[in-house]
Homo-oligomer: A and B are copies of this chain.
Amino acid sequence: MGKASKSLKSAAKAAPGRHTPALRAIKGGKAAAAKSAAANSAAKPAVKPIPLKPAPAVADDAPVIALNLPQAKLTPAMAAYFKKCQDRLGFVPNVLVAYAFDMAKLETFVAMYNDLMLGDSGLSKLEREMIAVAVSSQNRCYYCLTAHGAAVRQYSGSPLLGDQIVMNYRVARLNKRQRAMLDFAVKLTASPWSVEEGDRERLRRGGFSDRDIWDISAIAGFFNMSNRVASATDMRPNTAYHGQAR
């Protein structure tokens, strides 16, 4: 069996814990959270995680996207995954609901998402979310700014940092490494044809390995995809995101 499906299975088996922001720590568990905190501490020392408000009791019952695509029967792996989301986050992120008209599409999306955002990387989880938000800001994507803006607030413990990257990442007080990272991701988003060796060199001088450069590129690329699927389908974020980690 390929690794992709294995990661889905193990994700589905992971023990549920307290509520955490959508999709973010589903795969991780305690060890990952610890590691993430350590990684984040470079950026913002000693942040105290902001307690999440419980999701609103009433269901979001407006259509998730502007296309009429009836939900398919969940495969066992996906049913378990949705249940875990519900248990941990209090809701199933709408992007998953949107993809659930077709199990192959849902599974490949989840596998790629989890690998990029929760898998091994030299980038902290906060840094990956920062890329997600900076790219989504360039593309003005409502869904991704809302869901991943919440993630930046949660991982960083700073509502302010979340708002800054949503609005204009250049105003955030970033260290040189993170500024170089977001400059690269946003240039790659706005004018991919103009990215050249000089741009990679700037990342290397900022302390990034070639593997890190791949990860920055792949995450920036992934959100350039997701932004467009969301905009093309008028995807609506779960309302719970708006108030998370404020």
Residues of A at under 8 Å CB distance from B? 1-5, 7-9, 66-69, 75, 77-78, 101, 103-105, 107-109, 111-112, 115, 119, 137, 139-142, 145-146, 159-160, 163-164, 166-168, 170-171, 184, 188-189, 192-197, 200, 210-211, 213-214, 216-218, 220-222, 224-229, 231-234, 239, 242-243, 246
Contacts and interface: CB of A to CB of B under 8 A. Distances in A.
Nearest to A197: B66
A231 B188 contact: yes
Contacts of A200: 66-67, 232
A1 B119 CA distance: 20
Q: Most chain-B Cβ atoms within 10 A of its Cβ — which of A2, A184, A228?
A: A2
B67 A3 contact: no
A2 B3 contact: no
Contacts of A9: 2
A217 B192 contact: no
B168 A3 contact: no
Contacts of A227: 192, 221
Given A192-B228, A221-B228, A67 B242 contact: no
Contacts of A141: 167-168, 192-193
A152 to B, nearest CB: 13
Contact of A108 (B66, B111, B221, B232): B111
B140 A119 contact: no
6 contacts: A2-B103, A108-B108, A139-B193, A192-B227, A195-B232, A217-B228
Contact of A193 (B1, B163, B166, B231): B231
A197 to B, nearest CB: 6
A200 to B, nearest CB: 6
Contact of A188 (B164, B170, B228): B228
Nearest to A164: B142
Contact of A170 (B105, B196, B211, B224): B196
